[in-house]
Structure formats: structure tokens, C-alpha cells
A and B are shown apart, each in its own frame.
Chain A
Amino acid sequence: MAAGRARTRKQVSFAAPAHDRPRIVCMNLLATVVLLPLLAGTSACALIGRGNTPARRLLTALAAGGVTLAALALLLRMAPAVFAGEVPAAGFEWLPQLGLNIGWRLDGLALMFGLLITGIGALIVLYAHHYLGSEDPAGKFYALLMLFMAAMLGVVLSDNLLMLVVFWELTSVSSFLLVGYWGHRADARAGARMALAVTGGGGLVMLAGFVLLGQIAGSYELTEILQHRERIVADPLYPLVLALVLTGCFTKSAQLPFHFWLPEAMAAPTPVSAYLHSATMVKAGIFLMLRLYPVLGGTALFEQVVTGFGLATVTFAAWVAIFRHDLKGLLAYSTVSHLGFITVLIGLDAPMAKVAAVFHILNHATFKAALFMSAGIVDHACHSRDLRRLGGLYGWMPWTATFALTAAAAMGGLPPLNGFLSKEMYFAEALAGADRLSWIVPAVALLAAVSSMAYSLRFAHDTFFNGPTRDLPADAHPHDPPAGMLAPVALLALLCVAVGLFPESTYGPLVRLAADAALGGPPPEFHLALWHGVNGPLAMSAVAVLAGFALYAGLMKGRALHGYLPRAWSGKLAFGCAIDRLFAFAGRVTAATENGSLQRSLLIMVAFAVLLAAAPFWQADALPAAGDRTLMPATPLALALWALLLITATVIAATHHQRFRALVLVGIVGLITALTFVGLSAPDLALTQLSVEVVSTVLMLMGLALLPQHTPRESSALRRGRDALLALVAGGGVAGLTWLMLTRNHDSISWFFLERSLTEGGGNNVVNVILVDFRGYDTFGEITVLGIAGLGALALLDGFRTRRPAADADGRAWAFEQQPLLLRVAARVVLPLALLASAYIYWRGHNMPGGGFIAGLMTSVALVMQYMALGQARAESLLHGAAGRRFTRWIGTGLGIAGLTGIGAFWFGRPFLTSAHGHPALPVIGELPLASAAAFDLGVYITVVGATLLTLSVLGAASKEDHA
């Protein structure tokens, strides 16, 4: 079977062939890149940053910075190998059953992202050291930042799709904690939760897609999967895989309609926004689309879907960004728009588009991080990010303004900055895409660029110019920040210029390398340069810049824009609405399925059981037929009895509210059962049934005397009808199935007992031999239980006294003292006879119908009669019962005898309860069938009598009138 299990793993094999893998083993280096921040970074920051003193804060920042730089250095050390065309990879098995291996892989794309993550990460560490207030716990911040960095590095370096998901979700979790860093703020909490719900959920959807992908490709290793493009694209599941994986990417990269979490996440501390929401985490979706482009991309479906969503996002977000009054809100929407921009490029089915996408990833990270950091500086100094209140800050913070303006110009796409370059390439690709898709592509691209220019202008103009500041908070004192806070911004702004002027010598090689990996082959020849001559893209750029200026000027006329109140059209509301709907739906389902009613639960259970049982009927070709067993003839007497049984049962169901009446009728059912046993030649069972019936009815009557005689009817007629119908269906079904079963021939086991009863058990009465010998253990257990039940009644009711009712339901007075004379006399006469009869029954039990159990019940019945005839007090004085306690000794004696008989077998080296038997002949009586089982039976007898009387006695005492 083990082999079978292995085979069913379809053809999934997890050990990828080693031959076609260009790999150099530098496992330690590659793993260290992730593990360093994951283990060393987090723990060091958490430990050092425990106390919040200035020295410790500095040390924490240094530790975080050191770890980041070390990771960066490791990547740079491996970079030459990657540039030489190698793919450093390493891995070992982690969970081979699930196809989950630890595998690292550093190709061009991973290297580019790795450098981005660690490079910007180092700047962020520096910036955050100055940004965080002295009361903010620095250790927690840096530890989380390191955790996030490790997760991000894990995403880009993973060679295994499942492990990629693992790190992917870890970025969601760590970003949740980072966004909610200021947990005392309501917006931070809401933003954090929304970000986690959207991106974490998207990750799970993506996981489903990956599992499918792994099944199709036969492996979860990227190295493997990347070689199976044909099989994957041709698979009928390809559209589903694509939909699931893209959902994951779109949620992470904030594409329409999942974009709304990003603006909400702006409640995070600004370093977090600059790092997560511009440079790294939001790029993870982009990264994944590029990563899987060689296998999933290049189809018409991919192009239409990805380009379509990208275009919608880029225009929508750019337009919305103009109207945001919050500085970071504007940047957030701008980020969404730029992510859409990259998505469009990934979607477009042209190799150059991928080059442009990779290039813009770098450019966007560069200028957007600078912009977020300067927004943080402004916020820090002015204690406000509201564009309606800021203004004229150029005079107060000239350095900050200079760098921010440079970056904003890059964002708007002005030459000679890096943003301009990638925008030109974008336009070129959009124009090319018009042939394949539609003229809408370049048109929409142009529209987006116009809005982009407009919001960039607004960012620059409303913050740094546009008149003096307007009612800033009282504690605001705008100034340039310390050099440590300004340096990262300056560096990035300078990079914007440098890349714009010298693209080939700055980002060029990296872009080539990453595009190679994203395309799965060498990219086309290209040359990154500022000037490509007068062509279509340049014309579009010119139009975009001019129209952008015009748009902003028009909107800003008389500060009209400041009066604009954002309408409630954001996805945030949709998300909130969806959540509310979900809650309402959950509430409705709850109300429909659970109302705490036991009857309802029973109804559902029985109904479903009926439905399930009916299912085979409409699956089977023919209804199962009754078996061919020869049936016994039904005598008229038996038919009459069964008719009576049916009627009685119906009446019981109808009148169960009147408890006494129902109980009496139950007695009839028992009686008919006993008669049926007689008819089927089972006198033992009949005797037992009869005695049990009598004793239990008397005991139940005594119990019922303490309770109300009627219960009210609570349910409506409709409901009773429904329940009756269900009961009939369920009962009829059970009866029908039983009929099917009983009419079949099957082997009986009775021959076994018939054959061995006398030879091995020493008795002719098979039933009794089974009870005391074959199943002696069971009987011993049963009488023990009987004894416990009696003791239980004693424990529960001992000392319990209830006021007995003065009259019954019809107003007739209860008679307590007078016992009918006839009964008294009869009881006296019957008692010795009954005792004698029970002794006889006991004695002959081993060979003829009878036995200790029945005898015990008969004695009990006789004594119960004494109770009824003489009253409890007299009956008990007769038996020296002392309110029932004495009967506990009877139980003990009976159990003792039975137990000792069983133990007796040990003397002869046999197991417990092994019986011995002999047939000694005595002079007068004749042959005496003696079996050790007879002693055991005696124990049974005494226990039964004791337990019955004990229960009777405590029940009787409970309703005794309290004379005291």
C-alpha cells in the first residue's frame, strides 16, 4: 500500500534534475541574506531596543543598519556571478511530502529586487532613526522592519512557489504590525486590518493557484516550472490558475478593484510607507507577475486581463490623486497609479515592455521613496499633512523642498529625470500595443499621464509654494531636518537626476539583467537614453505635460480644489460595505440555523438522515427487494395482538401529555411484547419481560406521583402535522429497511450455544447458561449496574421529601391510609406462594425456563405487592428495611456471592468466572444438576431483589408525608 500511496502523487517529483541547472553552490551566502535579518536582525533589535534610552535607540538603529548593509554586501558579492550569467541556487528538502523545499535562487530579477530592498532599507533605517519620537519604542519598530525585510527578501529569493507564499504572507503579517505600530490611533488599527485582510487574503487565493500550477507542472520549484510553459499554457485549468495567481498579485500591488487598502495604510509611520508602500511590498505583486511571466505570460488572455486591469488602475488612481488633500494620500494614489503603469507594461505582449517595466520599477522606487520621506519631513515639522493648510514651505525648508521638487518632477515625468525616461518607453509600448489591442491603450495612457502631471504639480505647488502657510497647528515650526534625515532624500533625488542623464551607466546593466530573467531569454537590443529624437512618445509627453499644467491651473483657479470634498466613492467604503453585508449575512444564517431549540435540531437531524437514506434509492437501478427467507405463518391471534400494539402505540403518542395514562398504555406494549415472546417459543424472555414490566411500571408510577400529571401542549397544529409527517417517513423507512434485513437468510450463531450449552455449561436452558456462563461477565456487569442504579437512587433521593399532592387532576382526593382489604388479604396469601415459586424457578433455571434473574424479579414483584397492600411502613418493618438502607446490604451480599463464585475459578487455575458442573445423584431428590453457575445465579437473585426494593423504598419515602 505504501507503494500505492507513492504512485498516486501523480507524476509529481520534487527532486529537480540537476543537469540543466546552471548553479554554483553558495548556499551559505544565499541563505544568509534572508536569515540574517530574519534571525539576527529581529532578535538583536528586539533585545537592544528593550529600554528606550537615547543610547539604546542609537544602538538599535546601528544594529538594524548593519544587518541591512551586510545583506546588501552579500548580494553585491554574488552580483558578479549573476552578471556573468550564472544563477546561484541552493536548497534542501524541508517537507518533501508537500513539495515544500527550502530553495534559494538568485537570478537577475531577484538580484534587482534584492538590491532595491536592502538598498532602500538601509536609507529607511537611517531616516527612521530621526523620524521616530523619543516615546516610540524603537526596538519594536526595527525588529518588525527587519522581519519585513527578511520576508521580502524571502519572496524574491525563493525558488519554491510554496515557500514564496509563506514569505508572501509573512510580509502581510509584518506589514500589519508595522502599519498598526501606533496602535492607539483608530485609523492605524483600521488601516492595518484592512491591509492584512486584503493582502493576506489575496495570498491565500494565490496559494490555491500555486497548488494548481504545481499539479500541472509536476513541481513547485520555479526552476522546474519555468521549463514547462507549453504544458501549463495548454492546460484547461490555465485560465483558473491565471485568475487565482493574478488575484494575489493585484491585491498585493493594489490594482483596481483591490487598491483601497493602500491609501488606508497611510496611517503607518512614514518610514514604513516609504519602504513598504512605495519601494518594496507593493512591488511584490509586480515581481511575481514578472517572475511567472515566462510561463503564464505571452498569451492573449494574459495580455488582455493584465493590461486591462492596469489601464483601469493607472487612470483611475491618477485622477483620484489630484483631489486628495492629504499629502500621503496623494502619494498613495500616485503609487497605485504607477503600479498600474507597470502592470500595463507587464501585460503588453512585447519584450521591450518588460524592459520598460523593470526600468520603471527602479525609477518609481527611487523617486517615490524620496517623496514619501520628504512628506514625512514636512509632517514632522508642520504637524500637518493637509495640503489645504500647508504652503509656502520653500522659504522655511529650502533643502527639503529642492529634493522633493526634483523627485516630484520625476514623478510627473519631466525631463531630464528618470521618470521621464520610463514614461517615454511606456508611451512607445502603448502605441505599439494599439495595433494588437485597441487605440484605447495609448489614449488612456495619455490621460493618465495628464493626471499624473497635475497631481505632481499639486504636490509641489501646494506644499512649497502657493502663498504662506494657512492655519498650521500652533506647535508647528517648519525647518530643514537634521542631516541624517535629509541625506536619504538627497541621495535618492540625486539618483533621479543621475539616472535621467546617464541611464545606461547607472541602472542599465541591472535592467538588462532583470529583463533577461523576466523574459526567460535575452531581451531585445535597446539603448536607454534621454533623447531618442522627435517621435510619437515625445509628442505624447509634451501633450501630457502641457495638458497637466492646464488641468491643474484650471482646477486650482481660486483655490477651487481646496474646497473639494472627496466623495464617498472609494473602495474603502465598498470594503466596509462588503464587511457589513457579510456580517448581516452571517447574522441571518445564524438566525436561520440555530435558535437554541432542541426540537429544531432533532428535526434537522432526522430530516437529513432521511434524505441521506433516500439517496441510494434514486441512485440504484432497482429498489432493493425483500429477501427470500421462508416466513412463519401469522396466526389470527398474533395479527390481533399486533393491531392492538399499533393502536396502543398511536394512542400513547397522541396522549403523552397525560402521563399516567401513557404509562399504563406503555404497560400494554410490554405485555404484548411478552406474549409475542411466548408465541415465538421464548418463555425465558417472556418471563423476564413480564417481570421487568411490572417492576418498572410500579417504580415509574411512584416517580410520576411526585411530578405534575399533565404537561401543557406548546406547539401549533401545523408544526405537529409536520413533525408527524417526518416521524411517519422516518419510522416507515426504518421499518422498511428492517423488513429488508429480516427477510434475508443469514447464518445464525445459535447452533454454537445449542451445541455447547450442556457439554460445556452443564445446563439445558440455553438462555440461562448464556447468562451465567458464556456471558457470565456480562451478567456480572449488569447486576453491578443494577446495584449502582439502586445506590444512585438512594444517593439522589436520600432525605428528599416532597409534599405529596392532596388530589389528582380530577379533584379526587388521594387515599394514603386505607389499603383495600381484599388486596391486604391476597398479598398475605400470595407472598409465601410467590417466594416458593421464585425459589423453584431459580432452582430449575439451569435446565428449564427460569433462573436467578427471573426469580429475583418475581420475588420483587411479590414484595412490591406487600408495599402496596400494607403501606410502606409496615412492609419495611416486616423486612427490617429501615427506610431502604438495609437493602444496600442485600446488593452487597448478592454481588459478593457472584464475585466470589467467579474468583473461585482461580483456585483451579482457570480465568475468572470459569464454571464447573457435575451431576451428583442424591437419595431422595434424584440427580442433582450442580454447577458453580448456580451459586453465581444466587448472587444475581439477591442483587436483583435488593436493587429493586432499594429503589422502591427511596421513592416511596420521598413522597411520604412529613409528620415532623
Chain B
Amino acid sequence: MNFPLPDFFPASAEIFVLVMACVVLLADLFKSERQGWLPYLLTLATLAGALAIQVGTAGADTTLTFSGMFVDDRLSDVLKSCLYITVFAVVVYSRDYLMARGLERGEYYLLVLFATLGMQVMISANHFLTLYLGLELLSLAIYALVALDRESARSTEAAMKYFVLGALASGLLLYGMSMIYGATGTLEISAIARKLSDPATNMDVLRFGLVFLVAGLAFKIGVVPFHMWIPDVYHGAPTAITLLIGSAPKLAGFSMAIRLLVDGLPTLAVEWQQMLMMLAVLSIALGNVVAIAQTNVKRMLAYSTISHMGFMLLGLVSGVIELRASGDIQLSYAFGSAMFYTIAYVLMSAAAFGVLLLLTRAGVEAETLDDLKGLNRRSPWFAAVLMMVMFSMAGIPFFIGFFAKLAVLQAVVAAGYLYTAVFAVMLSLIGAFFYLRVVKLMYFDEPLDTAPLVASSEMRALLSVNALAIAVIGLMPQSLLTLCATALGQAMK
């Protein structure tokens, strides 16, 4: 049979990453002893190249290709560009840590690149199958990465749990997708949205499908009650891997939520809003409260992620406003706020784990709160960096986190969920407590470990840039907010 050749141009960044992943694989296999840096540099070059391609091929139009399975729009351009930058930072931050533990092998770079590819595919998915494909590519790479340190019982246990739970969640997601297929007869996201307005479509079946879709989604972005893997995996994985898991996949998770729910099932908004609202409120409550009890920084950040993702969901919940009188659906700027929140969180998370990585050296892990004590004596600048991150996460002004929270809260209030807004603020107050505890430990306590910090200069530089971004975007959030809003606006046209 003759098939028309699809348009490969919109997916050039994906193709580039795939080819380069194979190049890295071969380079790693055939490199000489002295070329240990080769996979590292190639990976960085891949990410930089992908960014260049993405920006270079970015157009104002929405392009569909591969029979409508793949979409290239402003949203994907913005999210993918953020993705490359994040993964770039992750790789730079991680190298010293991995080398000190003998984990800096080709597999790491290869798996990171495949995870990146998976996220790219997820972000550009316009079809349930593409979405699932990307998700699994990402998940499988991450399962393996969590167990990268095969000697560590904690890591392998975490990987095993993550794998089993992740498989169950994938099952739920697939089941939901298949039910939606059963009701609409298509898997293409924009076609599903069109089918929904057809009165002949069976709404009951769709609702059931939606339930499983939301459950699968909730697991992937890690909100209560599908959050159980987050603390274990954050804690169990080597810190460099936790850094990866805690940053870039949130972008893909956001895109997944937008594509599945907002693009695909807008007319079911009332249903999924209720569910997401419940998940968001539970996450914000549990995340903030449990974080207090943690003495391990990675676990604390894990619960902090849960509450932040809850906040992000609040933005999504406020996005679709049904006009009861006319039955029409309106989309508000709230999605932009959720996107801004996600990007802000990724920036903060990368910097937080970056500092944790900075504190480690051969044989020394920095995981507990005690390890942060007196950081100001050891390195005033990186203590300031972590302070900025903590203030930003707590939502204290002049940092990006404040504007993220503010934008989401305004959206929530505008959508009429007043008590939810007040509740969210109250709980972020509790949350502010444990972030501030970290600041107190760094500035006012005696260091237990007085050894100077060991880190490569490129890591120091990039971490500083990362922290400055938190502060500078905090002062000038205008352009990023506009970017998010226009990207989403174009994607939903």
C-alpha cells in the first residue's frame, strides 16, 4: 500500500533529539578512556540544538502532521523550549554528583534524552495514542533512572514501587481513553471535542471515561490521593534523578492536562472541574501539612511539589466557566496562570535541588535539614540562592512564586470559588512555615559540616542564573505571563 509521506518539519526537534540519542549511544560505546566527557557534551549540545530548532521553526500557526496525531503550536513551542532549558540545567547540575558516585555513565544521558523525547511527544500530542506513547517513553526512562544506582536498596525499592503504581495508573489512563474512544469513535483530541457537541454522543460513557482519565492524570502529576509515589521516589532516587523528576515532567504534565481535558473534553468541564477541585484541595491540604513533619529535605520538597501541583490544578479548575444561561463555555485567562505557575515551579524546583546537589560531594549526601544548617557560613551566595527559592516557594513577594500564586488566586476568585481561595491561602501559610524553617537553619544555625562546597564552575554559574531568573522574573513577570496567555490562547482557538 502507498502511504503519503507525512510532513516531518513540525517534528524536527523531536527527530533531532531521537537521532542524537542514538549518536550518544554510539559515542558512549566507542569513546576512548580520555573522552569521558563526550556523552555529557553531546547531550548538552543536543538540548541546545533542540532549543535552537524549536525556536527557529516556531511559527505563528498551528500545524498538524502525522495524520493529525502531532500538533505544533505556540503552546508546544513555549513548553518545549522551557523543557530543553530545564533538562539542560538538570544535566549540568547532576554531573558532579553522578561522577562522585560512579553513576555518570552513558545510560544516564541516554535515558535523559529519551525522557526528553517522551516529554516532547507528550507536549505535542493531538491524539490519545501519541500522548500515551510520550508518557510511557518518559515513564519507562524514569523508572530506569530511579534505579540507576543499582547497589542502593532504597533506590531500587523506590523504582519498583514507582513502576508498579505507574503501571496501574497507565492502565487507568488507557482504560479511560478506550471508553472515550468507545463513546466518540475517535482518539484524536480535537475530533473528540467536535464529537462532544454532537447530541448523539453518549455522555454517560464519556463521564466514566473521564473518571479514569483524571485518575491517570492525577497520578502522573502527583496529586492527592494519587500521590503516594512522590515522597518515596523523591527520597529513594539519587538526588540528581530527583532533580529531573521534580522539574521537567511537570511541564509535560501540565500540557497533558491541557490537551486531555481542556482541548479534548471542554464540554465536560463541570465534571472534571469538580474532580480536579477535590484533588487540588486535598493536595494543598495534605502537601502543606505533611511537609512540616519531614526531616528529610527531599521528602519535604516532595510534599511541597504535591501542594504546588494542587495550586496549579486550581488554576485549571478556574479556567472553564460555563454560562449556565446559554450553555456556552468560556475559557478564561486562568489557564495562563496555571501555565505560569508550572513554569515558575519548575524554575524553583530546579534551583532547590540544584543547591542540594551542590552540597553533596563524594561520600556525603545532603538530604536532611541538618545538612542545611549554617549554609550561610559556608557559602553566603548559595545560601542566598536557596533563601530566594524558599521565599519564592512560600509565595513571598518580589519572587516569581508570589506572582504565580497571585495569578492563580485571582483566577480562582474570578471564577467564584471564594472559599477555596481563602482555604488555599491559609494552607500556604502553614506551608510558609517549613520553607522559612529552612531559611532559619541556613542563616542562624551552626554548620555541622564545615567543608567547603565542591562544584564545577559551570554548575555554579548556571545555578546562579537560575536563582537570578527567580528574582528577575519576579520583578518583571509581565513578559512570561503574556507569553503563557498568548500561547494558550492560540492553542485553544
Contact = CB atoms under 8 A, between A and B. Distances in A.
Interface of A: 1-2, 4-5, 7-10, 12, 94-95, 97-100, 162, 165-167, 169-170, 172-173, 180, 183, 188-189, 192-193, 196-197, 200-201, 204-205, 207-208, 211-212, 214-215, 237, 240, 244, 579, 582-583, 585-587, 589-590, 593-594, 596, 598, 600-602, 604-606, 608-609, 612-613, 615-616, 620, 624, 734, 737, 740-741, 744, 746-747, 756, 760-761, 773-774, 910-911, 914-915
Interface stretch (B23-31, B106-114, B224-232): B224-232
B493 A1 contact: yes
A615 B272 CA distance: 12
Interface of B: 1-3, 5, 160-161, 164-165, 168-169, 172, 175, 178-179, 182, 185, 202, 204-205, 207-208, 211-212, 214-215, 219, 225-226, 228-229, 231-232, 271, 275, 286, 289-294, 321, 330-333, 336, 391, 395-398, 402-403, 406-407, 409-410, 413-414, 418, 421-422, 425-426, 428-430, 432-433, 436-437, 440, 443-445, 477-478, 481-482, 485, 489, 492-493
A98 B172 CA distance: 37
Contact of A208 (B289, B409, B436): B409
A915 B333 contact: no
Contact of A98 (B290, B321, B330, B403): B403
A737 B290 contact: no
B432 A201 contact: yes
Given A594-B232, A914-B1, 7 more contacts: A98-B406, A193-B436, A586-B293, A598-B160, A605-B165, A608-B225, A741-B182
Contacts of B432: 197, 200-201, 204
A867 B229 CA distance: 43
Given A95-B477, A201-B429, A169 B161 contact: no
A949 B254 CA distance: 44
A910 B3 CA distance: 9
B410 A99 contact: yes
Which 9 pairs between the two chains have the least Cβ-Cβ distance? Answer: A586-B293, A601-B228, A624-B204, A166-B397, A760-B1, A189-B444, A586-B292, A8-B332, A208-B425
Nearest to A7: B330
Contacts of B332: 4-5, 8-9
13 contacts: A1-B493, A5-B330, A5-B489, A172-B396, A193-B440, A200-B396, A237-B418, A583-B292, A602-B165, A605-B226, A615-B211, A746-B182, A914-B1
Contacts of B294: 590
Given A4-B330, A589-B293, A596-B232, A196 B286 contact: no
Contacts of B406: 98, 100, 162, 207, 211
A760 B169 CA distance: 39
Nearest to A177: B443
Nearest to A627: B202
B453 to A, nearest CB: 20
Contacts of B391: 173
Contacts of B485: 5, 97
A196 B406 CA distance: 20
Contacts of A774: 1
B293 A583 contact: yes
A582 B396 contact: no
A1 B331 contact: yes
A169 B474 CA distance: 14
Contacts of B271: 616
B398 A95 contact: no
B164 A602 contact: yes
A170 B440 CA distance: 17
Given A201-B432, A744-B202, A211 B169 contact: no
A28 B248 CA distance: 42
A942 B485 CA distance: 54
Given A197-B436, A204-B395, A613-B211, A605 B1 contact: no
B1 A915 contact: yes
Contacts of B1: 756, 760-761, 773-774, 914-915
Contacts of A760: 1-2
B106 to A, nearest CB: 14
A244 B422 contact: yes
A774 B3 CA distance: 9
Contacts of B396: 169, 172-173, 200
B418 A608 contact: no
Contacts of B395: 204
Nearest to A742: B182
Contacts of A740: 204-205, 208
Contacts of A756: 1
B202 A196 contact: no
A739 B179 CA distance: 11
B225 A605 contact: yes
Contact of B433 (A197, A601, A761, A914): A197
A616 B440 contact: no
A180 B214 CA distance: 47
Nearest to B423: A208
Nearest to B421: A208
A39 to B, nearest CB: 12
Given A208-B409, A915-B1, A594 B205 contact: no
A60 B489 CA distance: 51
Nearest to B215: A609
Contacts of A7: 330
Contacts of B202: 624, 744
A248 B182 CA distance: 53
A760 B2 CA distance: 8
A448 B362 CA distance: 64
